[in-house]
Chains A and B, each alone.
Chain A
Amino acid sequence: MPRRALAALLFACVVLLSACSGGSPGDDGPGTEAAASGPSGRLVVAAAEEPETLDFMASTQGNVHIRTINVVETLWAFDDSWSPQPLLADDVEVSDDATRYTIGLRDVLFHNGDPLTATDVVASLERWMAVDSRAATWMSGLTGLEATDDHTVTVTFDVPKPLLPSYLATTSTGIIPASAAQAAGEGVLGPDQLIGTGPFMVDHWDQGVELVLTAFPDYRPVDGAPSGHAGKRAAGVAEIVFQPVLDENARLAGLQTGQFNYVESLPLDQLDVIKSTPGVEVAPRRVGSVAGYLNAQSDLLGDPAMRRALLVALDLDEVATSLGPQELWKLSPAIPASGTRFESDAGAEDWNAGDPDRARQLAADAGYAGQPLTVITTSTPATYRMAVVLKEQLEAAGFPVDLQLMETAAMQERRGQADGWHIAMGQINNVPDATQLSVLSCGNTVGGYCSDEMNALVSQFTQATSDEELKKAHDAIQELFYQDVPYLKGPEVSDLNATYGLVDFDPTTLNVPHLWNTSLAG
């Protein structure tokens, strides 16, 4: 009996083995499913991370917004130069002193078939203000947020708010039905409540496995040439599938075999291999600047003069060279980043000075006596490489460095504490202007930088009513930034992303890439 059973088992396994060799790799490739009408094809995204939530209002994580931007829309949207253009907003009247906005809405439908109304906008913005900590600053002085009629929202402030369109172009301010916004409240917005007006709607989210979006047949686009997130949008494929593929080499292999159409965070040292693969286009994604947050709460770096000494020691050309091919980084002293309408080099004389002797002198003048600096970093390639070069350069200027490598969650906890570190490596995401850098505001920063003078300059900027005033105020913020040095701004970096078999993909300069207006080749 045992022998017969074993023989049967062996036979079954042999059959299975022989069947294994009969599979075809092309079977599960992208672009195989076609809809009966409308756009066709299946665009597969190999994502480097799986988000913990799809609550785009509460979470500022990029891996959330790269998914939800295709689903929910905002009142305004940024074009490629970070200027806000109307999206769901239609006719907008602004009072002369920029304290009152009367926003007419376009006639569009939600994915559940209901028309967009002013009540939905009010409920969505109320929820956003409750769950996003940045809203408190951005919407300060709010005195009224009302649905004047079905298609008109009135927003009033007791201070000028010329930057409101810019704030409401941020992807966290997307509009969902009032019923969904109220049901979620301050809790987590569930995937079934992620109902937008965008060109794609959520089909299902099997967390850790796949997020499937399908083309919204009743989508009504805005007029205008596409630029960044602004202008005309259209679903170019029937389905978008986001699959988390944690290993970068697995993502690369899937790109090379045509399994994926859009792949995030490929290995930097494989750029030449990627470029030479037929059908593949490199699409670097500008993500932000590598940076070293300075712990202004620590005894050692509490004095801005000491923080300036560290800045003076750094040769950022050397840091940038360590980050890989030049097309994946850019050096600029502008905060938050180059490419915004406020870009300037005001006050940045000490940035990229690379002068260890002057740094040593500045530190000595600030009373520094050779205490070691604790630098913490994760193994994320760009931040880790900058940390290594930074250690060498600081030590050359007389600052002994204790470099500690830790994993992301541990790092997040450590740098949230007042002590135990001096420099925390990280990444500052691209935002439209410096006032949206959370590190500059009191209360919610890593390192505890808090300055009344900076707060006053930020207020001046947010209440400026002309372009000239805005630019002047922004320059003043940058000048103070380089006096106070809340963080060491390193090179602006891009993730090495790539597409396979995509037509008209927009490699936007904004930090959240989108997948509308692109279709599959052939």
Chain B
Amino acid sequence: MLLAYATRRVLAAVPVLLIVALVTFLLMSLVPGDPALVLLGDSATAESVARLRAELGLDQPAVVRFLSWFGGVLRGDLGQSIFLSDPVATIIAKRGLVSLTLAVVAQAVAIVLGIALGVVAALRRGRWTDRLLSTAAVAGIALPNFVVAIVLVAFFAVRLRWFPATGFVAPWDDLGRSLATLALPVAALAFKQAALIARMMRGSMVEVLDSEYVLAASARGLSRVRRVVRHALPNALGPTVTVIGVGFGSLVTGTVIVEVVFGIPGLGQLLIDGVRTRDIVLLQGLMLTITAVYVAVTLVTDIVQAWVNPRVKLS
């Protein structure tokens, strides 16, 4: 049943991907700017610009260019970037790994913090701890990532010099340096996500703690830890899992800004470079990938929700 459900969802995503590709292409075709001019600079002659346009295939009609690109996609080829020497798929795989590392670590940190703080706030309902955490959560949701990032850099990198202000080292290259470079961008990204999770967790936990079966567990003499961890937590997690899943999408988009602030060479910088240079093939590949990631994360969220809470049925 699970496989059939997943297959249906994946098939349903195909038109979404197609529309995204088409809209990206149309938007980039409407926006003024010529990659050949960007590449050659101001002193280029009209002839050299025309020659390069022909070389890049930009002299073809838009429909022909789109269909040729789409034909490649159907064969599993995302095309060749206009400016970068590698195929688009290779570039996205390489730079995507950087963004994915950032997003996954930030997500992990946010889940731990968010759930823990949400549970604590629910257990301390109405007391100062709850009020403090709830206020912090609202601030976390309200503050944009880049503001948090700038404050973190100013304080922890420039003033205290605990962490580097910019850069990225992959964990598989050097774990120690990687953790140091990841600390601030992860904190900037995780702040908002943790706040969202904590707020949702607190709400659903309060509801569950008030329910009769928790009261019954209490009456049976179960310890507080057992009541919370074994009985209340699994049932309170359902809505939180949805927030975590949906939030992962915004986390991926949030990395665009955070990568720029921290000078991290991930998908965000690639996206900005793609727009700046009008590298339409690269942009289409990127938009398809980001959409596919979003669809996959939503699917995984639904499946995890059913797994965590047996009352949820996949249909």
**A and B part of one assembly:** yes
When C-beta atoms are compared, the residue in chain A nearest to B113 turns out to be: A17
A443 to B46, CA, bound (A): 8
User: Are A243's CB and B263's CB within 8 A?
Assistant: yes
User: Are B83's CB and A250's CB within 8 A?
Assistant: no
When C-beta atoms are compared, the residue in chain B nearest to A258 turns out to be: B161
Q: A60-B42, A438-B43 are in contact. Are A27 and B166 (CB under 8 A)?
A: no
A390 to B180, CA, bound (A): 47
Most buried by A among B46, B84, B164: B164
The number of inter-chain residue pairs (CB within 8 angstroms) is: 187
User: Are B177's CB and A58's CB within 8 A?
Assistant: no
User: Are A409's CB and B109's CB within 8 A?
Assistant: no
Within 8 A of A (CB), among B117-161: 150, 153-154, 157-158, 161
User: Are A46's CB and B263's CB within 8 A?
Assistant: yes
User: Are B263's CB and A246's CB within 8 A?
Assistant: yes
B290: interface (CB < 8 Å): no
Q: A3-B230, A10-B115 are in contact. Are A254 and B44 (CB under 8 A)?
A: no
Q: Which residues of A contact B177 (CB under 8 A)?
A: 23, 27-28
B167: interface (CB < 8 Å): yes
A187 to B276, CA, bound (A): 22
Q: Which residues of B contact A28 (CB under 8 A)?
A: 164, 167, 169, 177, 180-181
B72: interface (CB < 8 Å): no
When C-beta atoms are compared, the residue in chain A nearest to B309 turns out to be: A2
A390 to B309, CA, bound (A): 66
User: Are A23's CB and B230's CB within 8 A?
Assistant: no
A444: interface (CB < 8 Å): yes
When C-beta atoms are compared, the residue in chain B nearest to A19 turns out to be: B179
A46 to B174, CA, bound (A): 22
A472: interface (CB < 8 Å): no
Q: Which residues of A contact B260 (CB under 8 A)?
A: 246-247, 250
Q: Which residues of B contact A6 (CB under 8 A)?
A: 237, 308
Name which of B3-11, B27-35, B195-203 contacts chain A: B27-35
Main secondary structure of the interface of B (DSSP, over half): helix
When C-beta atoms are compared, the residue in chain B nearest to A44 turns out to be: B167
User: Are A245's CB and B109's CB within 8 A?
Assistant: no
Name which of A85-93, A412-420, A449-457 contacts chain B: A412-420
Q: Which residues of A contact B234 (CB under 8 A)?
A: 2-3
User: Are A52's CB and B277's CB within 8 A?
Assistant: yes
User: Are B176's CB and A250's CB within 8 A?
Assistant: no
Chain A interfacial residues counted at CB < 8 A? 66
When C-beta atoms are compared, the residue in chain A nearest to B304 turns out to be: A2
User: Are B186's CB and A20's CB within 8 A?
Assistant: yes
Name which of B206-214, B246-254, B266-274 contacts chain A: B266-274
Which residue of the partner chain, among B84, B95, B261, B269, contacts A244 with CB atoms under 8 Å? B269
A244 to B154, CA, bound (A): 20
User: Are A13's CB and B109's CB within 8 A?
Assistant: yes
Q: Which residues of B contact A186 (CB under 8 A)?
A: 51
B87: interface (CB < 8 Å): no
Q: A28-B167, A416-B37 are in contact. Are A9 and B158 (CB under 8 A)?
A: no
Which residue of the partner chain, among A23, A245, A406, contacts B179 with CB atoms under 8 Å? A23
User: Are B105's CB and A412's CB within 8 A?
Assistant: no
A217: interface (CB < 8 Å): no
Q: A21-B183, A409-B33, A409-B278 are in contact. Are A247 and B158 (CB under 8 A)?
A: no
Q: A25-B161, A207-B84, A259-B166 are in contact. Are A249 and B150 (CB under 8 A)?
A: yes
Q: Which residues of B contact A379 (CB under 8 A)?
A: none
Which residue of the partner chain, among B35, B111, B186, B265, contacts A9 with CB atoms under 8 Å? B111
Please list 5 pairs of residues, one from A and one from B, whose beta carbons are closer than 8 Å in the complex, sorted by A's number: A2-B234, A23-B181, A257-B161, A413-B37, A444-B43
For the A-B complex with A23-B178, A25-B163, A58-B40 known, give 10 more contacts whose Cβ atoms are closer than 8 Å: A13-B108, A29-B164, A131-B48, A243-B263, A250-B165, A253-B166, A256-B165, A409-B32, A409-B277, A438-B42
Interface residues of B (CB under 8 A from A): 31-35, 37-46, 48, 51, 55, 83-85, 95, 105, 108-109, 111-112, 115, 150, 153-154, 157-158, 161-167, 169, 174-183, 186, 229-230, 233-234, 237, 260-263, 265, 269-270, 272-273, 276-278, 307-308
